[in-house]
Amino acid sequence: MKEILEYLFNHHTLSKSQAKAIMIEIAQNKFNATEVTAFISIFLMRNITLEELKGFREALLQMAVPVNLNTNDSIDIVGTGGDGKNTINISTLASFVVAGAGQRVTKHGNYGASTVTGSSNVLEALGYRFKKTSEELNQDLEKANICFLHAPYFHPALQSVGALRKSLGLRTFFNLLGPLVNPAKPKFSVIGVYNLEIARLYQYLLQKENQDFVLVHGMDGYDEISLTQDSKIITKSGENIYSAEDLGFKPVDSENIKAGETIEETAQIFKNILEGNGTESQNAVVLVNAAVALLHTQKFGTYEDCLTVAKESLFEGKALNSLQLLVDG
């Protein structure tokens, strides 16, 4: 690792093959915590390159525990995290709304590293037991229309650096990898990114692989459609900027979509929203992200149709039912 660090400290970047090899060695615990921290720190001081991102991603996918699910048209709604906004778990809430609407969801998530409550934290607090096998995941998918893949169970490298990431408490390049390495390989992906530079990296990578994607970015730094300011939505066919009004809502105050200060508080807010007791602002951000996801699948009509379907899922208890079936399973 010493040679690698010296190379990088001299303002060089890694090739794809170098990045892949290093990530494999990190997963194999060939470096101590100090060495890995130093390596991660380099990417806190400069942006990751496309070749580095490709190499890290290839390594994670190569080492991932294989998953065989009985679906070929699922969707994942996921953010990079690390936007520092401490919002409610919008993409996870939207995932249950989408599942309740009839679209299968293969959600990939993890514990919060740079935030209090990641998707794994909130689901665990609500009583969900993480599943490790394809058989168990398929059972959840059949019953609840959604399954949840807890990232450390399927990615040895993420497991090996989990404690280190949490102790750092900072956004690292691992945040960028999570949305790109769902072992379920969903057909559709809605990915929230915290800045436009990262959006360009993702856009280039996903277009080269001919993947079906939507990238969303709140222009004031959110990794989702926040409705607090305009949002940029990028697809294979182009990109547009939308105001809250364009998307059928009033602008939202950022204070009104904050998470709790503890995992337990955030989990209670999460449950309240799915029980139909969310505030107007909380409901709005969940619904708009769910509607964009439904639109992406091209199964539910226009955006307005998708918004109607999302509202039915949330307010008629379908989203809550998906959560209950998942937890009870």
- Give the residue ranges of the annotated binding site for Mg(2+): 91, 223-224
How is residue 107 annotated by DSSP?
E
For the annotated binding site for 5-phospho-alpha-D-ribose 1-diphosphate, the residues are 79, 82-83, 87, 89-92, 119
Residue 167 vs residues 32, 102, 120, 163: alpha-carbon distances, Å: 15, 39, 17, 6
Pairing of strands 105-109, 146-150: parallel
Helices (H), 114-168: 119-125, 134-144, 151-154, 156-168
Binding-site residues for anthranilate sit at 79, 110, 165
Rounded-to-integer distance, Cα 213 and Cα 289, Å: 14
Query: Which residues contact residue 202 at a Cβ distance below 8 angstroms, ignoring those fewer than 6 apart?
Result: 179, 180, 191, 193, 213, 215
Q: Residues comprising the binding site?
A: 79, 82-83, 87, 89-92, 110, 119, 165, 223-224
| Tokens encoding 145 | 């229309």
Closest CA to 4 of 72, 101, 14, 269: 14
Is 198 within 8 Å of 176 (Cβ atoms)? yes
DSSP 8-state secondary structure symbol assigned to residue 277: I
